[in-house]
Amino acid sequence: MTHNECLQWLRDSPKETISPKELSRILGGDPYYYNIAAKNGTLKLPHMWMGRNLRIFKGPVLRVIEAGEWPGKLQGGMEE
């Protein structure tokens, strides 16, 4: 999938949250870094834990990407 196809898939998805793996497919990087950032309190996206699984709200992800603010705004210094 191209970057634009991934963004369209994200827009069309009925889910309100995405996993770190799904986010990494769109933005790149290692999904584990998103987990570490969330655990350390440096993930600059609204998120929640469902048990031990990190869920990231997709609305803010789309807004940040469409505004061209990636990569600096999402991971809080954990970019590759």
Per-residue pLDDT, 80: 43
pLDDT in tens, the chain (80 residues): 676 787 788 889 999 999 999 988 887 778 999 999 999 999 888 999 999 999 999 999 888 888 777 655 454 444 44
Whether this prediction's pTM lies above 0.85 is answered by no
User: Which long-range contacts (C-beta less than 8 Å, at least 24 apart) are formed by 14-21?
Assistant: 15/58, 16/57, 16/58, 16/59, 17/48, 17/55, 17/56, 17/57, 17/58, 18/55, 18/56, 18/58, 18/61, 19/53, 19/54, 19/55, 19/56, 20/54, 20/56
